[in-house]
């Protein structure tokens, strides 16, 4: 099977400006393997002089961004549709925010409806941030932000103009499978596209994504952050009929750059089911120990691989302050504490050892400055 045939089966074009359509079918290659200096290497190892410069992105050389799609885009997409049960096709972008917006665009085009609804933060684009502060310059585009899954399910059951519902299936509570099933049922009955935003949870839970782990299948799924292994990547994946909706425009010049593709493919190899279960169990054990040592004064809310530091009074902020002051351990005050897959037992133990004496002194310590939340709800 040719690279183009493989791509058409699983991958939406990463950019509309670098496609085989711009070249002569049967003469030019459809994909590129690598680049060096001014030259590209084609699928059959032919050397190609590049005159487009990655659509102008290559000021010096062609090493990281090509004039045609990379074969690694196809390889990554094939790996993703194998691992994610609900995914037939994949769209590569650069951030989770872009991926969430792309999913909404596919859903609106597919349903020919305009309204959307969700429960949380799904990126910085206008659609999601208009109901937050800071939100200067944004305008409301028909997005309803509900307080919880129950409210969202009820709203979806009584709104016939909803194109899509977007949620983080596990925000901080993993014990919501029954609520996810209820929402899935309502969306199916009313022709609403259900989107799982797994930008945070993806590649951090057993079976790779919450959708697999709970067996509640969305229509579209969004991933990012961890999948890129520290490099910028977002994906929107899902049902073929939705992602093949004619006329949907999602494009990104850098969505197929090589550094991110290499990192993502390596991440896919590393996040086997066994490794993810080991990581998940170890992180959950750390959370239990942290909460025990916190003595009800400070604790980690959520699940092991995605937690948020909480506390009574201002104790979480004091712990954050003292962890850095004494040990140079950087811990957000009332914010995420998200373990790395590379952490060893000694890394988890170090945090417990460092926090223990601070917890004993919380009542006697002074906070130098009160941290402030970035986002504040201003309207429904």
- Tens digit of pLDDT for each residue in 63-102? 999 889 999 999 999 999 999 999 999 999 999 999 999 9
In a domain, 310, yes or no: yes
How far apart (Å, rounded) are the C-alpha atoms in residues 229 and 174?
23
* pLDDT score, position 374: 65
**Higher-pLDDT residue of 266, 52:** 266
How far apart (Å, rounded) are the C-alpha atoms in residues 315 and 311?
5
> Which 8-state DSSP code applies to residue 206?
T
pLDDT band of 380, cuts 50, 70, 90: very low
Do 79 and 105 lie in one domain? The reply is yes
Pairing of strands 34-36, 39-41: antiparallel
In a domain, 53, yes or no: no
Summarize pLDDT for 339-366 with one digit per residue, the tens. Answer: 999 999 999 999 999 999 999 999 999 9
Do 327 and 263 lie in one domain? The reply is no
* pLDDT score, position 331: 95
Instruction: Please report, rounded to a whole number, the percentage of residues in the chain having pLDDT higher than 90.
Output: 79
Degrees to nearest 5, angle at CA 84 with 231 and 219 = 105
Do 188 and 314 lie in one domain? The reply is no
In a domain, 8, yes or no: no
Among residues 163, 159, 154, the alpha carbon closest in space to that of 116 is found at: 163
Do 243 and 266 lie in one domain? The reply is yes
SS3 19: coil
| Rounded average pLDDT over 274-303 | 97
* pLDDT score, position 14: 86
Do 203 and 169 lie in one domain? The reply is yes
pLDDT band of 375, cuts 50, 70, 90: low
How far apart (Å, rounded) are the C-alpha atoms in residues 370 and 201?
29
* pLDDT score, position 173: 93
Do 321 and 177 lie in one domain? The reply is no
Do 195 and 259 lie in one domain? The reply is yes
Do 111 and 258 lie in one domain? The reply is yes
The count of structural domains within the chain is 2
Residue 236, H or E segment: strand 234-238
Of 129-138, 154-163, 242-251, the range with the lowest mean pLDDT is 129-138
Q: Is the pLDDT of residue 166 over 60?
A: yes
Burial of 160 (0-12, 13-18, 19+ CB in 10 A): exposed
CA atoms within 13 A on the CB side of 361: 13
* pLDDT score, position 370: 85
Within the chain, residue ranges assigned H as helices are 3-10, 53-56, 71-83, 96-111, 126-129, 149-157, 177-190, 210-214, 240-243, 258-270, 273-293, 315-327, 345-361
Degrees to nearest 5, angle at CA 364 with 361 and 366 = 110
| Rounded average pLDDT over 327-335 | 94
In a domain, 306, yes or no: yes
pLDDT band of 253, cuts 50, 70, 90: confident
What is the chain's alpha carbon radius of gyration, rounded to the nearest angstrom? 23
**Which CATH number belongs to the domain containing residue 227 in this structure?**
3.40.640.10
Summarize pLDDT for 113-158 with one digit per residue, the tens. Answer: 999 999 988 988 888 877 666 667 776 678 888 999 999 999 999 9
Do 243 and 118 lie in one domain? The reply is yes
How far apart (Å, rounded) are the C-alpha atoms in residues 208 and 305?
12
Do 116 and 189 lie in one domain? The reply is yes
> Which of 254, 271, 288 marks a domain boundary?
271
CB of 148 closer than 8 Å to CB of 117: no
Pairing of strands 306-311, 298-303: antiparallel
Do 165 and 224 lie in one domain? The reply is yes
Do 176 and 190 lie in one domain? The reply is yes
In a domain, 357, yes or no: yes
* pLDDT score, position 379: 44
* pLDDT score, position 215: 97
- Find the domain containing 319 and state its range: 274-364
**Which CATH number belongs to the domain containing residue 338 in this structure?**
3.90.1150.10
> Which of 219, 237, 271 marks a domain boundary?
271
In a domain, 29, yes or no: no
How far apart (Å, rounded) are the C-alpha atoms in residues 124 and 224?
14
* pLDDT score, position 98: 95
Q: Is the pLDDT of residue 376 over 60?
A: no
> Which of 237, 271, 305 marks a domain boundary?
271
Average pLDDT, the chain: 93
CB of 104 closer than 8 Å to CB of 164: yes
In a domain, 213, yes or no: yes
In a domain, 379, yes or no: no
How far apart (Å, rounded) are the C-alpha atoms in residues 13 and 219?
20
CB of 50 closer than 8 Å to CB of 40: yes
């Amino acid at each position: 099977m040719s690279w183009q045939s493989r791509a058409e089966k699983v991958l939406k074009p990463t950019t509309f400006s670098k496609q085989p359509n711009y070249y002569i079918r049967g003469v030019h290659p459809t994909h590129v393997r690598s680049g060096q200096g001014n030259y590209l290497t084609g699928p059959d190892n032919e050397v190609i002089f590049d005159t487009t410069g990655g659509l102008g992105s290559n000021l010096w050389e062609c090493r990281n961004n090509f004039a045609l799609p990379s074969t690694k885009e196809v390889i990554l997409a094939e790996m993703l549709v194998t691992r994610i049960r609900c995914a037939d096709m994949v769209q590569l972008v650069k951030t989770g925010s872009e991926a969430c917006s792309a999913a909404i665009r596919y859903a609106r085009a597919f349903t020919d409806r305009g309204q959307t609804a969700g429960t949380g933060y799904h990126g910085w684009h206008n659609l999601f941030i208009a109901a937050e502060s800071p939100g200067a310059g944004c305008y409301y585009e028909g997005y309803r932000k509900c307080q919880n899954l129950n409210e969202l399910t009820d709203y979806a059951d009584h709104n016939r103009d909803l194109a899509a519902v977007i949620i983080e299936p596990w925000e901080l509570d993993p014990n919501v499978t029954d609520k996810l099933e209820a929402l899935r049922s309502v969306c199916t009955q009313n022709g609403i596209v259900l989107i799982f935003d797994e930008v945070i949870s993806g590649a951090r839970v057993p079976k790779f994504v919450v959708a697999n782990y709970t067996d509640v299948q969305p229509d579209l799924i969004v991933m990012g952050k961890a999948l890129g292994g520290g490099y910028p990547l977002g994906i929107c994946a899902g049902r073929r009929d939705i992602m093949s909706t004619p006329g949907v425009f999602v494009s990104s010049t850098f969505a197929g750059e090589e550094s991110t593709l290499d990192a993502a493919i390596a991440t896919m190899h590393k996040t086997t089911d066994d490794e993810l279960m080991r990581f998940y169990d170890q992180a959950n054990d750390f959370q239990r120990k942290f909460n025990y040592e916190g003595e009800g004064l400070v604790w980690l809310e959520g699940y092991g691989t995605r937690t948020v530091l909480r506390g009574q009074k201002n104790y979480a902020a004091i712990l954050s302050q003292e962890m850095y002051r004494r040990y140079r351990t950087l811990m957000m005050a009332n914010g995420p504490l998200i373990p790395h897959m590379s952490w060893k037992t000694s890394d988890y133990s170090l945090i417990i050892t460092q926090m223990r004496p601070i917890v004993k002194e919380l009542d006697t310590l002074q906070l130098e400055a009160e941290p402030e939340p970035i986002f504040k709800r201003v309207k429904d």
